[in-house]
A and B are shown apart, each in its own frame.
Chain A
Amino acid sequence: MDESMIVGKNHLRVDAWEKVTGNAKFTNDYTAPGLLFARLVTSPFAHAKIKSIDTSLALKLPGTKAVLTGQHFPFLTGSLLKDRPVLAVEKVRYHGEPVAVVVAKSDHEAKLAAEAIQVEYEPLPVVNTVLDALAEGAPLIHENLGMYKVVKPAAPEPNTNIAHRQKIRKGNMEKGWANSEVVVEASFSYPKSDHAAMETRCIRAQISAGGNVTIYSASQSPFVIKKLISRYFNVDAGKITVHTPFVGGSFGGKAAVCLEFIAYMASKAVNGKEVKLVISREQDMLSAPCHIGLEAKVKLGCTKDGLIQAAELSYWFDGGAYADQGLAIARAGAVDCTGPYHIENVWCDSLCVYTNRPYATSFRGFGHSELMFAIERAIDMMAKKLNIDPLVLRQKNAIRAGNTTPTQVVLTRSNIGSLIKCLSRLKEIINWDEGARIEIDENKVRAKGIGCLWKAPTSAPNATSGAVLSFNNDGSVNLSIGAVELGQGTKTVLAQIVAERLKMDMSKVHVTMEVDTRTNPEHWKTVASTATFMVGNAALEAVKDVIAQLRQVGSVALRCSPEQLEVGYEKVYLKHNPNIFIEIKDMAAGFMFPNGNAVGGQLIGRGNFIMQHLSHLDPTTGRGVPGPTWTVGAQAIEIELDKRDFTYKILRAASVIDAGKVINYKTAESVTMGGMCMGLSIASQEGFQFDSNGLVQNPNFRSYKLMRLTDIPEYIVEFVETPQIDGPYGARGLGEHGVIGIPGALANSLSIAVGGELNRLPLTPENIWKQVRGDSK
């Protein structure tokens, strides 16, 4: 077996058979005798005082076991800023906010009891948009913002609706504008939307007589659940075990920890009996945190020959009623505010703004598909004004080694890859040279639009991962890791990394599927496209450890020095004479000489990884190192538009991403394609619609539409490979990137088709019609 026998090959996913046969078990698939059920009571108002909550009727129902309201949770939660009660206290701040939870003998009785709870509200003035929220004299959503505890770097502005302001001040703006011969300025709008994972959120919790807490959660963050339950409820961390079986899609939405607190308290209220918290689709859309929205203002200055000199960027992220990760998204948006372009002079204020809308948490791309929509539209507008080919303008300004990012990180070939190569390849595969706009007939026009992408994983600076290897008596290896399988194929890719380094067949590598926080080593959270990078590096460390042990024991058994030995093909053998060897299966639990003497003992490999050289951002300039690397790429969309009514068909979608090294093309292709589909869906039709009272008008799949199989275009996915030297086999993160450039690319293609500027999503035919007519909204 040569090097790269496994990495770079399309190995069948290790979870494939369970999933295609319907046998894979998800959190809601488990039941047990005596299991109790919890249901939420949620707010029908976007902003209202809670005058009273009458639980007496619900408590009288025969199946009811307990009812809890905000008064049972006298504390605030938040991973960066503590601003959110577990259940609303005194007032509700968004439509769908949980105000009570009931526990009953059956799900049916829980639903009945939830419906019997009577809450009296007094409506308050609603802050419906970020512009309303920032207006002078706007009602305050959090009157006590100044008193909230800041957990991680956050800059809330008391007596306003600003949860965080991240500043970027790079270079000299005066100089930048002085050098600019052409200026483009425009506003952009990207609505709040839903994650729409196939599996709705689900949690089970129980507390044993001995005080052991067991939680099952469809989560991306089982280790964070353990930490937070320990912190908020004063339970020893060692007594808490969190299990995460397969997760049926998450897209960032299951990284937030919120319903777990309710499930834990619900179990506590019934003497620790196991309680399952069931979330309906409507509650999953409204009550649980959603995808952030963005209002942006972009001003770009450029020389006549197309070199960008200055960027002034205002990003107002619509965080909704609570900050959660919205605050970190505003920061991430600032970190990469310019898109993948080299700009010397940058001014950016990126805000997380409170509104009376469902609160936001991470969503695939973490603020990047939002800001890239604004940037990519502005780049196309600039190209038009300069009369330069938009692809050429991107090539001229593409960021590369030696340039600095908005937070002044000096880039290397390893940590930035090659956007130029991505653009060149994209140009060929979409046949860009035939022209961006082609008239088909009197009514139909075809057009192509481009959108570039970049993203760094903005983790905690000390984010860490571990991996443990153990062996079976057939010589096969078990890989124990804390990364969650949520459909992205992480277990397969990590198994390939281990198999490659051990030169072992994939069928001999067994990965733990469910995550169990007591037995699996911690992985920070399965977010930010980091599992391959972080867990992959930890797994390589573990393999290195095991190889050292095998050589050590092998040297005793084979009477040679460890340095003379090689490990591979399930054997330890002499480099210069592979005919002298021992099989790993004969060493897995110690090696025994023919006379009965034994050495070695069990082989257990350990590896870990911690982010290095990251730093907090300077609050005044933003200077700092936010992430270890960037993944760049270029995407394009081709559409055919009917000029009469602005209906259109998406014909082709293409992506070329610098993957560093593709570990498994099929999983890389499918995760990218999935991202592209998501980007198209968001940009073409998704988005919550609010009435003037801040109530969501489409909180269900009857009225909230997603792309259907019949709508999907031809997908073309290719990769460029500029190795990331510190990544496993040179691989970069890929999980989120497919989504990032797509909204911009779709909007660019449609703008080219209609000959106008489409700067507001979603691009439904009506919204195109309105923007072409020049309506402001």
Chain B
Amino acid sequence: MISFDFDYYQPCSIAEAVSLYHQLLAAGKLPIYYAGGTEIISMARMNQLFTKAVIDIKTIPECNVLHVEGSKLVIGSAVTLTQIEESNLFPLLSEVSKRTADRTSRNKMTIGGNISGKLMYRETVLPFLLADSQLVIAGNNGFKTVSIHEAFNERLHLQSGEILVQLITEQSYSTLPFKTVKKTKQSAIDYPLLTLAALKKDGQIRAAFSGVCRFPFRLTEIEKEISQNQMVVDERIDRALKLFPAPILDDIQGSKEYREFVLRNTLVEIIEWLEGVS
């Protein structure tokens, strides 16, 4: 049970949502945008999050798009992980999504919520990082489209009142060879010990990581090292590991040493698999 009281709003348009946000902010209501609610409800229940107003964006049409427009795949931020899996328009995303939480949760969890959430894993951002996706963000000044690499650095950076509306991905990425591996402490349904997503484009391996450091990331420097196929795999991994952007996590999911052991194994598995496909 959530012990504090809060107001609930359900705007029908982006403009209405943004305007509501600013009004509520001015009124000291500490508003937050609300979609699936899995994180907000569970954190509010434990008093790890506080608000006096939630703005539910689930009924806004632009946030519910899930289709291909020309050469682009457009996914609305309020689309649930289950819908994404079932449409299977982006197989790599479906695979990553399927290993996030359990089915009951995924029926509620949205792609926008998972990417902009407070939990550090944000696993479903990995395929978008690999595919150089574009983000449609709405704010006071209307809509803007930016590269994911610009807006997402460790976490999604939005200005106060901005909404992540859509994620746009070149359809060609949906047909590239890919591999994703999620390792957990033991139970299949758990936070990642690590989640790796990788694909091969133009002979180069792209790889993105969650659960390894305290944020998800993709680094081209790491990709360069692991793609040097004239070198033995172990050596490439040694060089790549030196480039990780933050210390390897050491927590209840697993120790730093064990994560590194699993990370090495997983990288070998991914590199060998991707280099085996044409």
Q: Is the CB of B258 within 8 A of A115?
A: no
Nearest CB of chain A from residue B256's CB, rounded to whole Å = 11
| A645 in complex: contacting residue of B1, B190, B262, CB < 8 Å | B262
Instruction: Return chain B residues, CB-CB under 8 Å to A159.
Output: none
Stretch at the interface among A20-28, A104-112, A374-382: A104-112
Instruction: Return chain A residues, CB-CB under 8 Å to B4.
Output: 112
Nearest A-chain residue to B101, judged by Cβ: A702
With contact pairs A698-B252, A770-B258 given, residues A115 and B1 touching in the complex (Cβ less than 8 Å)? no
> When chains A and B are docked, how far (Å) is the Cα of A764 from the Cα of B255?
12
With contact pairs A115-B47, A689-B252 given, residues A769 and B261 touching in the complex (Cβ less than 8 Å)? yes
Q: Cβ of A544 < 8 Å from any Cβ of B?
A: no
Instruction: Return chain B residues, CB-CB under 8 Å to A108.
Output: 1, 3
Q: Cβ of B161 < 8 Å from any Cβ of A?
A: no
Instruction: Return chain B residues, CB-CB under 8 Å to A762.
Output: 186
Q: Cβ of B37 < 8 Å from any Cβ of A?
A: no
Nearest CB of chain B from residue A640's CB, rounded to whole Å = 15
Stretch at the interface among A208-216, A484-492, A703-711, A741-749: A703-711
> When chains A and B are docked, how far (Å) is the Cα of A702 from the Cα of B258?
21
Q: Cβ of A350 < 8 Å from any Cβ of B?
A: no
Nearest CB of chain B from residue A726's CB, rounded to whole Å = 44
> When chains A and B are docked, how far (Å) is the Cα of A194 from the Cα of B257?
28
Instruction: Return chain B residues, CB-CB under 8 Å to A647.
Output: 183
| B258 in complex: contacting residue of A684, A697, A706, A769, CB < 8 Å | A769
Instruction: Return chain A residues, CB-CB under 8 Å to B261.
Output: 645, 769
Q: Is the CB of B187 within 8 A of A112?
A: no
Secondary structure call for the B interface: loop
Bitwise, A646-657 to B at CB < 8 A (1) or not (0) is 010000000000
Q: Is the CB of B3 within 8 A of A766?
A: no
Q: Cβ of A600 < 8 Å from any Cβ of B?
A: no
With contact pairs A107-B1, A115-B3 given, residues A685 and B258 touching in the complex (Cβ less than 8 Å)? no
Q: Is the CB of A685 within 8 A of B3?
A: no
Q: Is the CB of B252 within 8 A of A703?
A: yes
Bitwise, B249-278 to A at CB < 8 A (1) or not (0) is 000101100100110010000000000000
Instruction: Return chain B residues, CB-CB under 8 Å to A644.
Output: 265
Q: Is the CB of B190 within 8 A of A705?
A: yes
Nearest CB of chain B from residue A647's CB, rounded to whole Å = 8
B interface residues, how many (CB within 8 angstroms): 21
Interface centre among B46, B186, B254 (most CB of A within 10 A): B186
> When chains A and B are docked, how far (Å) is the Cα of A702 from the Cα of B190?
7
Q: Cβ of A765 < 8 Å from any Cβ of B?
A: yes
Q: Cβ of B68 < 8 Å from any Cβ of A?
A: no
Q: Is the CB of A111 within 8 A of B187?
A: no
Nearest CB of chain A from residue B52's CB, rounded to whole Å = 15
Nearest CB of chain A from residue B179's CB, rounded to whole Å = 16
Q: Cβ of B188 < 8 Å from any Cβ of A?
A: yes
Nearest CB of chain B from residue A363's CB, rounded to whole Å = 20
> When chains A and B are docked, how far (Å) is the Cα of A762 from the Cα of B261?
19
> When chains A and B are docked, how far (Å) is the Cα of A705 from the Cα of B186?
8
> When chains A and B are docked, how far (Å) is the Cα of A685 from the Cα of B184?
11
> When chains A and B are docked, how far (Å) is the Cα of A689 from the Cα of B186?
14
CB proximity to B under 8 Å, residues A76-126: 107-108, 111-112, 115
Q: Is the CB of A708 within 8 A of B189?
A: yes
Q: Is the CB of B187 within 8 A of A708?
A: yes
Nearest B-chain residue to A642, judged by Cβ: B265
With contact pairs A765-B186, A769-B258 given, residues A111 and B3 touching in the complex (Cβ less than 8 Å)? yes
With contact pairs A108-B1, A705-B186 given, residues A697 and B262 touching in the complex (Cβ less than 8 Å)? no
Nearest A-chain residue to B262, judged by Cβ: A645
> When chains A and B are docked, how far (Å) is the Cα of A251 from the Cα of B156?
45
> When chains A and B are docked, how far (Å) is the Cα of A647 from the Cα of B188?
11
Q: Is the CB of B255 within 8 A of A685?
A: no
Instruction: Return chain A residues, CB-CB under 8 Å to B258.
Output: 766, 769-770
With contact pairs A766-B255, A766-B258 given, residues A685 and B1 touching in the complex (Cβ less than 8 Å)? no
Bitwise, A674-700 to B at CB < 8 A (1) or not (0) is 000000000011000100000001100
Nearest CB of chain A from residue B2's CB, rounded to whole Å = 8
Nearest CB of chain A from residue B254's CB, rounded to whole Å = 5
Instruction: Return chain B residues, CB-CB under 8 Å to A111.
Output: 1, 3
Bitwise, A269-283 to B at CB < 8 A (1) or not (0) is 000000000000010
Q: Is the CB of B47 within 8 A of A645?
A: no
Instruction: Return chain A residues, CB-CB under 8 Å to B47.
Output: 115
With contact pairs A645-B265, A769-B258, A770-B258 given, residues A685 and B187 touching in the complex (Cβ less than 8 Å)? yes
> When chains A and B are docked, how far (Å) is the Cα of A111 from the Cα of B191?
29
| B187 in complex: contacting residue of A107, A645, A705, A770, CB < 8 Å | A705
Bitwise, B94-119 to A at CB < 8 A (1) or not (0) is 00000000000000000000000000
Bitwise, B166-201 to A at CB < 8 A (1) or not (0) is 000000000000000001011111110000000000
Nearest CB of chain B from residue A102's CB, rounded to whole Å = 12
Bitwise, B28-61 to A at CB < 8 A (1) or not (0) is 0000000000000010001100000000000000
> When chains A and B are docked, how far (Å) is the Cα of A470 from the Cα of B261?
68
Nearest B-chain residue to A109, judged by Cβ: B3
Bitwise, A736-777 to B at CB < 8 A (1) or not (0) is 000000000000000000000000001011100110000000
> When chains A and B are docked, how far (Å) is the Cα of A399 from the Cα of B252?
42
Q: Is the CB of A685 within 8 A of B188?
A: no
Bitwise, B50-85 to A at CB < 8 A (1) or not (0) is 000000000000000000000000000000000000
Instruction: Return chain B residues, CB-CB under 8 Å to A764.
Output: 185-186
Nearest CB of chain B from residue A66's CB, rounded to whole Å = 18
Bitwise, A698-734 to B at CB < 8 A (1) or not (0) is 1000110111101100000000000000000000000
Nearest A-chain residue to B47, judged by Cβ: A115
Nearest A-chain residue to B42, judged by Cβ: A702
Nearest B-chain residue to A648, judged by Cβ: B186
Instruction: Return chain B residues, CB-CB under 8 Å to A705.
Output: 185-187, 189-190
Nearest CB of chain B from residue A116's CB, rounded to whole Å = 10
Q: Is the CB of A711 within 8 A of B252?
A: no
Q: Is the CB of A112 within 8 A of B252?
A: no
With contact pairs A689-B252, A697-B252, A703-B252 given, residues A710 and B188 touching in the complex (Cβ less than 8 Å)? yes
Instruction: Return chain B residues, CB-CB under 8 Å to A645.
Output: 183, 261-262, 265
Nearest CB of chain B from residue A723's CB, rounded to whole Å = 41
Q: Is the CB of A708 within 8 A of B188?
A: yes
> When chains A and B are docked, how far (Å) is the Cα of A703 from the Cα of B119?
13
> When chains A and B are docked, how far (Å) is the Cα of A705 from the Cα of B188?
10
Q: Is the CB of A112 within 8 A of B3?
A: yes
> When chains A and B are docked, how far (Å) is the Cα of A216 from the Cα of B188?
38
- B residues neighboring A (CB under 8 Å): 1, 3-4, 42, 46-47, 183, 185-191, 252, 254-255, 258, 261-262, 265
* 19 A-B contacts (beta carbon < 8 Å): A108-B1, A112-B3, A115-B3, A115-B47, A644-B265, A645-B261, A645-B265, A685-B185, A702-B42, A703-B252, A705-B186, A705-B189, A708-B187, A711-B188, A765-B186, A766-B185, A766-B255, A766-B258, A769-B261
- A residues neighboring B (CB under 8 Å): 107-108, 111-112, 115, 282, 644-645, 647, 684-685, 689, 697-698, 702-703, 705-708, 710-711, 762, 764-766, 769-770
